[in-house]
Amino acid sequence: DIQMTQSPSSLSASVGDRVTITCQASQDIGNYLNWYQQKPGKAPKVLIYDASNLETGVPSRFSGSGSGTHFSFTISSLQPEDIATYYCQQYDNLPLTFGGGTKVEIK
């Protein structure tokens, strides 16, 4: 199985801060990576697909980049409604696997 390692596991930042999360794959996955946002008590919601494409309706402050084994997810200006846990997910190989998540909190 492809292991997806996210860091940090949690972070605390101020409103307006730039926040970056990284995701490392255990092998080359090209750009076959999605990013999801999960708010407490809710199902995950896709924000970024194919590593860098913004899902329709998602605010432009969210972005993704990377390819191969190293990926990053950025919130350019953190908003209170962005409090959530963020997950990466690879779809280069079966079984599909997720990262361990990054919990984002407001300082």
Shortest CB 89 distance to other proteins, Å:
7
Annotate each residue in 18-57 with x if it binds other proteins (CB under 8 A) or - if it does not, as one string: --------------x-x-x-----xxxxx--x-----x--
Q: How far apart are CA 60 and CA 3, in angstroms?
A: 28
- Give the side-chain half-sphere CA count within 13 A for 49: 7
The answer to whether 89 contacts other proteins (rule: CB under 8 A) is: yes
Residue 46: other Cβ atoms inside 10 A: 12
Strand partners, 90: 33, 97
Q: Which residues of the chain form contacts with other proteins (CB under 8 A)?
A: 1, 32, 34, 36, 42-46, 49, 55, 87, 89, 91-101
